[in-house]
Amino acid sequence: MTSDRARDARVVLVPRTVGEAMAAAASVLEDAGVAEARREAQELYGALVRRPTSAAWLEREEPIPSRVRAALETAAQRRAALWPQAYATGAAAFRGHWLTVDRRVLIPRPETEGLVDLVLEWVKTTARAGTPLVVADACTGSGAIAAALALEAPPGSVRVIATDCSAAALDVARLNLAALGLRDRVDLRHGDLLQPLAGERVDAVVSNPPYVAAAEWDGLEASVRDFEPREALVSGEDGLAAIGTLVAQARAALRPGGLLALEVDARRADAAAALAAGAGFASCTVLQDLFGRPRYLRARRPDDGSD
């Protein structure tokens, strides 16, 4: 009898359903002092199965596969150790597309989704019949921007070239493109900013480049400073080094009338626009993100034929 009761107790300790696994994960998070532990556990589960957070509730009575149970246990332990949620699960949603992410790449953020909107609006008004527009995505990281453009632009309207100076980041981007069926629709190239274009002309340049000043690094949130790649964030003493180089390269790479669309630091948005104007761009405009902060620089290469 005693051995039977002990065996039954051991069985109960192993979560058998999604709901039981969620409760176990929430308990780990609560013990670590994570706020809203139940909600966070649901979000971890949703990311692991790459479905909306509501899946945790809708599937609560279903048996949980051992692979998912183990992944949820690991994710909860990582989150309890203050890993960012996306790194804890290895997945992040971007514009409804699930991406693999780890510490080789930045976690894609909602602000960057607005940058994609900006480019897609331009594509709708600029698309030409029979010939796709060529868009270069510099500092692609996880491939979030490149993938979103390839998936959401009208079929056949764009060809995307994505670059990154980090070979490790390109490995992550390659995984994401393969998972989304985009290996033949996005050209990944290794190198700094637009150097991999090697003289090829493009119709648009889009980028979420590094824009944190070196002196600001220590003041970043620990979830960023202790986990995300410094080289993808810090850009010289003033935070404008990469942007300055990028606008100069874009001026040479863009066809007349081409679009330059950058995500920038809200505190230096006007300075970024001044760099673009100084490089010869026209219609340099700073646009706000979903939080009302100056976040995007939109500019146009003059179409007067000047080089």
Same domain for 135 and 237, yes or no, is: yes
252 occurs within a structural domain? yes
- What whole-number percentage of the chain has pLDDT above 70? 95
- How many separate domains does the chain show? 2
Per-residue pLDDT, 224:
96
- What whole-number percentage of the chain has pLDDT above 90? 93
Indicate the helix (H) or strand (E) that contains 37. Answer: helix 37-49
Number of residues that make up the chain: 307
Extract the tokens encoding 72: 């949820």
Per-residue pLDDT, 127:
83
Per-residue pLDDT, 12:
47
103 occurs within a structural domain? no
Same domain for 162 and 289, yes or no, is: yes
Q: Note the Cα 274 to chain centre separation in Å.
A: 26
Same domain for 37 and 80, yes or no, is: yes
Same domain for 121 and 226, yes or no, is: yes
Same domain for 223 and 294, yes or no, is: yes
Distance CA 244, CA 14 (A): 55
Model pLDDT for residues 120-177, shown as the tens digit of each residue: 999 999 988 889 999 999 999 999 999 999 999 999 999 999 999 999 999 999 999 9
99 occurs within a structural domain? no
- Which amino acid makes up residue 26? A
Per-residue pLDDT, 5:
44
Distance CA 192, CA 176 (A): 21
pLDDT for residue 9 is more than 80: no
Tell me the mean pLDDT in the region 90-110. 97
Same domain for 56 and 165, yes or no, is: no
Same domain for 153 and 268, yes or no, is: yes
4 in Cβ contact with 11 (< 8 Å): no
263 occurs within a structural domain? yes
What pTM was computed for the model? 0.92
Same domain for 27 and 155, yes or no, is: no
pLDDT for residue 234 is more than 70: yes
In three-state form (DSSP H/G/I as H, E/B as E, the rest C), the secondary structure along 92-123 is EEECCEEEECCCCCCCCCHHHHHHHHHHHHHH
Per-residue pLDDT, 305:
56
Model pLDDT for residues 264-280, shown as the tens digit of each residue: 999 999 999 999 999 99
100 occurs within a structural domain? no
Same domain for 46 and 143, yes or no, is: no
Residue 132: CATH number of its domain: 3.40.50.150
Extract the tokens encoding 268: 């230096």
Q: Note the Cα 115 to chain centre separation in Å.
A: 11
Edge-to-edge strands, sheet with 186-190: 186-190, 158-164, 133-138, 202-207, 254-263, 294-300, 282-288
Q: Which of 7-16, 38-47, 138-147 has the lowest average pLDDT?
A: 7-16
Computed on alpha carbons and rounded to an integer, the radius of gyration of the chain in Å comes to 22
pLDDT for residue 2 is more than 80: no
105 occurs within a structural domain? no
Same domain for 138 and 219, yes or no, is: yes
Q: Note the Cα 146 to chain centre separation in Å.
A: 10
**270 half-sphere exposure, CB direction, 13 A CA radius:** 1
Same domain for 179 and 253, yes or no, is: yes
Domain membership of residue 163 as a residue range: 110-300
**46 half-sphere exposure, CB direction, 13 A CA radius:** 19
pLDDT band at 4 (very low <50, low <70, confident <90, very high): low
